[in-house]
Amino acid sequence: MTAALESLNIVIGGLAIEVTASDAAFIEMLSGQYGEFVDSETRAAIRLEVDLTDEPVALDADADVQVSREAGIWKLSRGDFDARYDPVRRYGTVRQSANRHSIDSVIRIIHTLTLAQEGGFLLHSASAIRNGHAFLFAGRSGAGKTTLSRHAPGDAYLLSDEVSYVRKSGGVFLAWGTPFTGELGTAGVNCSAPVEALCFLRQATENRLVTVEEPEALRLLLANVLFFANDPELVRQVFESASEFVGAVKTFYLNCTPGDRVWELIR
């Protein structure tokens, strides 16, 4: 007799993914992890069926993510999961152990594949909304994303301290909150706003904004875009979206010192 499936809808960037599994405890764990990004009222656009196993999925648990397409089906794998995703049926299967990190990675990858075709991308950056506008803060590890997020003022809505969600809608680039966390370990607020500026963080002795010209901004942006698929067409689409993005928003170097005074520049 087949075990009954438990499910929940995880809505990120307006896209609802239904995750199903036969283990109620696993689904309950995910519900706690994704918090306000769980929405049973939103109709799912994508369905993922998770097959939980106690057996190791791969010999190398530290293997890099592999994403490739064969006969129209995406194959996603890493040392801790093995998945297949059909973008036409918008249905996928995931084989993994009962941990939250594996399904979280699969969800991120599927969002990158979907966003590539919708004029968007995931960006390794912190992000926040202030005065109705979204600001993105990109930079290498140690550049200050976590510190900036930690010192966000009370009138700022933190969207993420690690992975920002950008998508074009109605001719405007919007940044959305995500549950993907970094060092703060706190999910972002589930809301969105038009992107006002993209800031590349640099540690300095004074807080200052310095304009970055489009060619340099595009190079820096692409270095922080999260994309895993070895697919020339989708890579081209991401490049075009990134090019359009840096032409549509303000781009700066944000020279900053530790502390909250830097937020005086973000309005």
CB within 8 Å of 115: residues ≥ 6 apart: 13, 121, 122, 165, 166, 167
Q: 10 with 31: CB under 8 angstroms?
A: no
Q: How far apart are CA 200 and CA 183, in angstroms?
A: 19
Write phi, then psi, for 65 (nearest 5 degrees). -65, 135
Task: Give all domains of the chain, ordered by start, each with its CATH number.
Answer: 6-116 (no CATH), 120-265 (3.90.228.20)
Q: What is the mean pLDDT of residues 20-48?
A: 94
Q: How would residue 8 be classed by pLDDT, with cut points 50, 70 and 90?
A: very high
Q: What is the mean pLDDT of residues 168-186?
A: 88
Q: How far apart are CA 218 and CA 93, in angstroms?
A: 35
Answer yes or no: is pLDDT of 1 > 50: no
In the prediction, which pLDDT does 59 show? 44
Q: Where are the beta strands (DSSP E) in the chain?
A: 6-12, 15-21, 46-52, 66-70, 73-78, 81-86, 91-96, 120-130, 133-138, 156-160, 163-169, 172-176, 192-203, 208-211, 225-226, 250-256
Residue scoring higher pLDDT (22 or 257): 22
Q: How far apart are CA 33 and CA 35, in angstroms?
A: 6
